[in-house]
Amino acid sequence: MARIDRNTQPIRVTVDELTGHLARLCPDNRIDLAGAVTLPCTMHHEAKWWSYLTEGRHAGLDYLTGDPAGRLDPTIANPWTRSLLVFAQRYTAGWPAGDFAPVSGGPAGDAGTTPWTDRVSRYARGLDYHDILLKDIRKVVAGLREVWPGLTAFPVTDTGPYLEREYAWMAGLGFLGKNTCLIHEKLGSGLFLGVAPTNLDITGLPPAGQPAAEPLYAVTARRRRTPVRVAASHCGSCTRCIDACPTDAILPDGGLDAGSCLSAWTIEWRGKAPPERRAEQGGILFGCDICQAVCPWNQRADESTDSPPVRQEYALLTAHAEIGLADLLELSDDEFRERFRRTPLWRCHPAGMRANARVVRDNLLEEG
Ligand code: B12
Ligand code: SF4
Ligand code: SF4
């Protein structure tokens, strides 16, 4: 984020004013949940962050480790920041129902009959949320700036130094599951998150560090309204995600060893998982949905009639059907760029896509 003049002045607003404007701007811009957190604030799961780093569970993702203290307190680098606006946008409610049958790229294999797109995580089947969600948040911020011309705000999704899930929980958008995902009690975890640090000094929010019971805007009410229990997690004794994870990447009490997660192997490491572990990838090509697909909160989530459908841009791209898994093995760099620009698949680069496809092919041959 660009550094702003340290003298940037706060703008004092009430939570009711902000809520009123979000109620107007969020539906117009397809934001499904929005809330706000006063900064600086207590990070309740600070210990999880430190153990993640010190135990080396960050999958070698150096961009996470650069300024660990700054991730816990964004006001150190940007003292003008008074609050963080937090946004969520649905990308799917179409998780497989019932007991999880790994048809969509699970480790049991399927003799290669599953289309390659079913081997791609749901978050990555359409257009890239870094474009779509970010534009939507920017429009909301632009609307707020019309009201408060002195507003300074920098929307980001993923790329800023923010523990987005922690803030989403603090802002009342949902709870944190053992699989580490932010789960809304009605919409499930098929949500992208984005945040915007601002100079809004918001009166009427819970005191800094106290999680909110509800978001300021929600496209649909959560399933359980009363009593609203502000707990970090509503997993109870469930361990489905832990039991289903094919690589044992989820710790017994929740939390992730990212270096064992198929998402990291296929998106960040791009086919370069340790050779002795590649069989664990099964038929999964890019990203992994297993710990979300098995989650009871997602199996109950639905595209309810009381909320508008998921943004069309996140639906499976029809052009993807033109090619098969075998074509991915041979895909030239140019073809990759032509097909996957502006989609999340772009992240794994042409060589990474070919390498991922080779792992899947080898695993299917092994099983077949
Ligand atoms: C690096 C990264 C990854 C890495 C590492 C993931 C990880 N868990 O650390 C990899 C590549 C593996 C990955 C995978 C995925 N990612 Co990712 N990822 C990120 C990124 C950029 C940073 C995450 C980070 O800081 N991790 C450090 C750890 C310590 O933080 P954390 O996981 O957020 O956990 C915090 C809390 O949840 C809490 N906590 C942790 N464990 C537990 C357990 C319990 C019981 C409780 C109560 C709390 C708790 O403590 C932590 C500190 O606050 C974020 C965007 C961002 N800036 O936050 C997206 C983000 C987390 N990813 C996202 C998505 C969609 C995914 C995938 C679903 C994609 C896919 N289908 O393949 C998977 C999910 C895998 C999983 N189970 O986490 C979304 C999550 C949305 C949501 N509803 O939660 C985010 C927010 C991106 C976005 N802007 O929408 N991701
Ligand atoms: S995304 Fe897949 S590999 Fe990663 S923790 Fe979840 S189930 Fe395990
Ligand atoms: S599967 Fe169970 S333990 Fe895992 S996140 Fe969902 S409710 Fe929590």
Residue 305's pLDDT is 53
Q: Which residues pair with 175 in a beta bridge?
A: 183
Tell me, yes or no, whether 223 lies in a domain: no
> What's the gap in Å between 170 CA and the centre of ligand 1?
15
Number of structural domains, the chain? 2
User: Are residues 50 and 177 both part of a single domain?
Assistant: yes
Tell me, yes or no, whether 27 lies in a domain: yes
| Nearest ligand to residue 87 Cα | 1
Looking at 167, 184, 218, which one is the last position of a domain? 218
State whether the beta carbon of 294 lies less than 6 angstroms from ligand 3: yes
User: Are residues 178 and 304 both part of a single domain?
Assistant: no
User: Are residues 51 and 169 both part of a single domain?
Assistant: yes
Residue 227's pLDDT is 46
> What's the gap in Å between 323 CA and the centre of ligand 1?
31
Tell me the C-alpha to C-alpha distance, in Å, between residue 195 and each of 136, 144, 297, 331: 12, 14, 24, 36
Tell me, yes or no, whether 6 lies in a domain: no
Residue 79's pLDDT is 92
| Nearest ligand to residue 247 Cα | 2
User: Are residues 107 and 146 both part of a single domain?
Assistant: no
Tell me, yes or no, whether 225 lies in a domain: no
* Number of residues that this document lists for the chain: 368
Residue 108's pLDDT is 46
- Fill in the amino acid letter for 71: R
Residue 359's pLDDT is 94
Give pairs for 265-269: CB < 8 Å, separation 24+.
266/348, 266/356, 267/347, 267/348, 268/59, 268/61, 269/59
* Cβ contact 273:348 at 8 Å: no
Q: Domain containing 83 — which CATH number?
A: 3.40.109
User: Are residues 210 and 302 both part of a single domain?
Assistant: no
User: Are residues 21 and 141 both part of a single domain?
Assistant: yes
Query: What residues make up the domain containing 156?
Result: 11-93+128-218
User: Are residues 112 and 147 both part of a single domain?
Assistant: no
Tell me, yes or no, whether 177 lies in a domain: yes
Tell me, yes or no, whether 166 lies in a domain: yes
User: Are residues 173 and 133 both part of a single domain?
Assistant: yes
Q: Which of 73, 118, 158, 302 is catalytic?
A: 158
User: Are residues 357 and 280 both part of a single domain?
Assistant: yes
User: Are residues 304 and 166 both part of a single domain?
Assistant: no
Residue 364's pLDDT is 86
> What's the gap in Å between 152 CA and the centre of ligand 2?
37
Which of the listed residues 183, 245, 267, 278 should we mutate to test ligand 2's pocket, taking the one with most ligand atoms within 8 A of CB?
A: 245
User: Are residues 174 and 198 both part of a single domain?
Assistant: yes
For 128, half-sphere exposure in the C-beta direction (CA atoms, 13 angstrom radius) is 15
Residue 4's pLDDT is 63
Which numbered atom of ligand 2 lies nearest the CA of 287? 1
Average pLDDT across each block of 10 residues of the chain; the chain has 368 residues. List them in order. Answer: 70 98 98 97 94 95 91 93 97 73 46 81 97 98 97 95 96 96 94 98 93 94 60 90 95 96 96 92 92 91 71 96 94 97 97 96 81
User: Are residues 190 and 282 both part of a single domain?
Assistant: no
Residue 225's pLDDT is 52
Active site residue 243: no
Neighbours of 141 (CB within 10 A): 20
Looking at 160, 186, 218, which one is the last position of a domain? 218
Q: Is 68 left (phi over 0), alpha (psi -120 to 50) or beta?
A: alpha
Total-model pTM = 0.96
* Cβ contact 293:98 at 8 Å: no
